[in-house]
Amino acid sequence: MVRESVDLLIEARWLLPMEPADRVLERHSVAVRGGRICALLPWQEAETRFEARERLRLHTHALLPGLVNLHTHAAMTLLRGLADDLPLMEWLQKHIWPAEMRFVTPEFVYDGTLLACAEMIRGGVTCFNDMYFFPEAAAKAALEAGMRAAIGMIVVDFPTPYAADPDDYLTKGMALRDQYRSNSLLSFCMAPHAPYTVSDKTFGKMLTYAAQIQVPIHVHLHETEEEIRESLRQHGVRPIERLRRLGLLGPDLVAVHMVHLTPEEVDLVACANASVVHCPSSNLKLASGFSPVAELMEHGVNVGLGTDGAASNNRLDVFQELRTAALLAKAVSGRANALPAHRVLQMATLNGARALGLENETGSLLPGKSADMVAVNLGTLELSPCYDPHSHLVYAAGREHVSHVWVQGRLLLNEGRLTRLDVDEIIARATRWGRRVAEADGSAPEGRGQ
């Protein structure tokens, strides 16, 4: 019998395809050819059927789809930990915004995003949905890192060093998207920043563009009570109702945070088939409140997970968000069986891909999909014994147990080591930026002149 040749054959102790959410394939292999998954099958069958150019035995590992970080501002890694533990407005107005106005350039965004990519790959993330200034620099960094990214065509109604007015933002975003149209790793989102930074007119234009080029609309929504009060004052309605009237509340909407929701709004979001991004660490850290995630899920809403930027988290660590989301949903709903481990893992994989319109490409281990995968070693001290790989991945494991990461079948992390990026160089550049920012900010220990 002639064996089919494949590029890579991985024997995993547990294979978690995430479709359906709770499936566990024990002692199964995944075969990869041309960057795509071609089969999942028991170790011995794989042995008989395939001739592999390369083989990998991961006999204490779980293999699952790469994690999707559905909301971040990647370049903000360079501002991580700058003036924490402050009231929200003091933090933004006295520290974050001045630093951004002064330092955010294409070089800053490139260096910060490359640092973010390195951190995310080490933490098992293969795809991120980004929203920041100079998205061309973020796109360049993502490609250099070999990651999949959805690049936000960001728009705010005020000028920044990146663009002068809404049309300028839009023109720049569309040009970038045209440049990378046929790139297999990059996709795009319209990214109106938030209801309080974008006018009705701009939202209208962005909706038209989004429909024309068929991309999702990535927007912060119902993050704080203040945002809702302000909308009632200025527009006479809550932000979700405002977006509904403007025509944005539909299946292309990727609504980030969604902390404060009435039962009617939960229904509205569910009926519109909109996606929600839950960012539990950020919501806690900024004291925004508790999103009713279990309720959203029970209403059938597609909910993914995001880290938010490193200035309000401060880890770009989807494992941390998995755990925090699962734990928090139990306490918020009052039910210890709310949001079980396999469901929250599906949020961070398939649901993320679905929100970005990438569910045919990534987010689960199915033959035909891109080989975007992560291996986690469940044989370590902190994870022995293992009764249930889903439970361990969410409640006990952390990014420190991620051993291998592939995007399109290319190995980006090998036994915990980045294969494509120069860690020392990335750290050196980050440290230089840190010194400049701290000196200007004056509040940080590095800026105290020692």
- Residues 195-214 binding a second copy (CB under 8 A) are none
Rounded CA-CA distance 309/73 in Å is 4
Output 23 or 235, the one with its CB closest to a second copy.
23
Smallest gap, in angstroms, from Cβ of residue 354 to a second copy? 23
Binding site annotation covers 71? yes
Of 68, 74, 118, 261, which one interacts with a second copy (CB under 8 A)?
Answer: 118
Supply the minimum distance, in Å, between the C-beta of residue 87 and a second copy: 5
User: Interface residues for a second copy in 239-258 (CB under 8 A)?
Assistant: none
What residues from 356 to 415 belong to the interface with a second copy (CB under 8 A)?
379-382, 384-389, 391-392, 395-396, 398-400
Residue 2 near a second copy by CB under 8 A: no
Please report, as residue ranges, which positions from 82 to 111 form the binding site for a second copy (by CB under 8 A): 82-88, 91
Which is closer to a second copy, CB of 210 or CB of 303? 303
Q: CA–CA separation, 30 vs 40, rounded Å?
A: 5
Residue that is written with structure tokens 């360079």 in the block: 78
- Within 119-158, the residues that bind a second copy by CB under 8 A are 119, 122
- The smaller minimum CB distance to a second copy, of residues 217 and 311, is found at 311
For a second copy, the binding residue among 23, 36, 299, 330 (CB under 8 A) is 330
- Whole-angstrom Cα distance, residue 282 to residue 309? 8
User: What are the residues whose beta carbons fall under 8 Å from the beta carbon of 245, sequence distance 6 or more?
Assistant: 237
Nearer to a second copy, 229 or 335 (CB): 335
On whether 372 is known to bind a ligand per the annotation, the reply is: no
In the complex with a second copy, the residue whose CB is nearer, 2 or 89, is 89
Least gap, CB of 168 to a second copy (angstroms): 31
Q: Is residue 100 a known part of a binding site?
A: yes
Question: Judged by CB under 8 A, which stretch of 185-193, 198-206, 327-335, 349-357 contacts a second copy?
Answer: 327-335
Is residue 423 at the binding interface for a second copy, with CB under 8 A as the rule? yes
Residue closer to a second copy by CB (options 214, 337) is 337
Residues in the chain: 450
Tell the smallest beta-carbon distance from residue 385 to a second copy (Å). Answer: 2
Q: Which of 132, 180, 188, 433 binds a second copy (CB under 8 A)?
A: 433
* Separation of first and last alpha carbons in the chain: 71
Site map 12..51 versus a second copy, x via CB under 8 A: --x---------x-xx------------------------
218 marked ligand binding residue: no
Q: Which residues of 151-172 are buried (b: 16+ CB within 10 A; e: fewer)?
A: bbbbbbbeebebbeebeebbeb
Size of the site for a second copy (CB under 8 A): 82
- To a second copy, the closest distance from the beta carbon of 101 in angstroms equals 18
Least Å from the CB of residue 269 to a second copy: 22
User: Which region holds residue 108: left if phi is over 0, alpha if psi is between -120 and 50, else beta?
Assistant: alpha
Question: Which of 10, 21, 78, 217 is in the footprint of a second copy by CB under 8 A?
Answer: 78
Segment 276 to 315, residues that bind a second copy, using CB under 8 A = 281, 283-290, 310, 313-315
Our finding on whether 419 is near a second copy (CB under 8 A) is: no
Out of 213, 232, 237, 327, the only residue in the binding site for a second copy (CB under 8 A) is 327
Cβ at position 188, least distance to a second copy in Å: 27
Contact 20, 366 (CB under 8 A): no
Among 201, 410, 417, 435, binds a second copy (CB under 8 A): 435
Q: Is 278 annotated as a binding residue?
A: no
Residues belonging to the binding site are 71, 73, 100, 193, 220, 223, 308
Residues belonging to the binding site for Zn(2+) are 71, 73, 220, 308
Residues belonging to the binding site for substrate are 100, 193, 223, 308
